[in-house]
Chain A
């Protein structure tokens, strides 16, 4: 199955630790998007990346959050010094890049901060 792959599926971190979430896009897709879903809410856009470039990070919190999509390997969403409010489901999506290409979503990483 060449769908969007995210790992880990579940991640538990203590307050103050770092969380690293990984995403491999669908085969043939070079555009990656990260969305966050807080409990009882819809998904909120965080960041849009192409290989080695951040295209739009208007939805990223200003501190502690960063994202990258290196030339080789998966996209990484990194959260430093996690707090309880970071507990959420983080979804990665990919597309081939055309403006009218719908997103394909992964199954998400559920982050729990204790």
Chain B
């Protein structure tokens, strides 16, 4: 069965600083990989997805992620964080599907002004 690890429970960055959120997955074949963002009291919004092809994917709100098969990683990055990016970020993997997903436990991002 597939699994996802997000090693950082909580990260604090200053506004304007760069951001990298880590995600490692376990799955035998090429996975479907996702990053979702959840603001307090809200549902999940899709930031970006990887199915195949170019390993660097661009998403909404200036986010990008890079799929590294050799490291089983799919880290999320943003060059300059805005205060409105404060939220919880979830990495997820799908085993040949984009719908039945296994989620990580999330990374809570705090942005200081």
Q: Which residues of A contact B (CB under 8 A)?
A: 4, 31, 33, 40-45, 48, 56, 91, 93, 95, 99-108
Contact = CB atoms under 8 A, between A and B. Distances in A.
A102 B44 contact: no
A99 B101 CA distance: 12
B103 A100 contact: no
Contact of A43 (B32, B49, B90): B90
Interface of B: 4, 32, 34, 36, 41-46, 49, 51, 90, 92, 96-106
Contact of A95 (B45, B49, B98): B98
B101 A45 contact: yes
Contacts, number: 61
Contacts of B43: 4, 91, 105-108
Given A99-B98, A100-B32, A105 B44 contact: yes
Contacts of B104: 42
A43 B44 contact: yes
Given A31-B99, A33-B99, A43-B90, A102 B34 contact: yes
B44 A91 contact: yes
A113 B90 CA distance: 26
A22 to B, nearest CB: 15
A95 B99 contact: yes
Given A91-B43, A105-B45, A42 B105 contact: yes
A21 to B, nearest CB: 14
A103 B46 CA distance: 8
Contacts of B96: 99
B46 A42 contact: no
A44 B103 contact: yes
Given A40-B105, A41-B105, A42-B105, A48 B44 contact: no
Contacts of A107: 41-43
A100 B98 contact: yes
Closest 10 A/B residue pairs (Cβ): A42-B103, A105-B43, A105-B44, A107-B43, A43-B103, A42-B105, A102-B98, A100-B98, A99-B97, A106-B43
A41 to B, nearest CB: 6
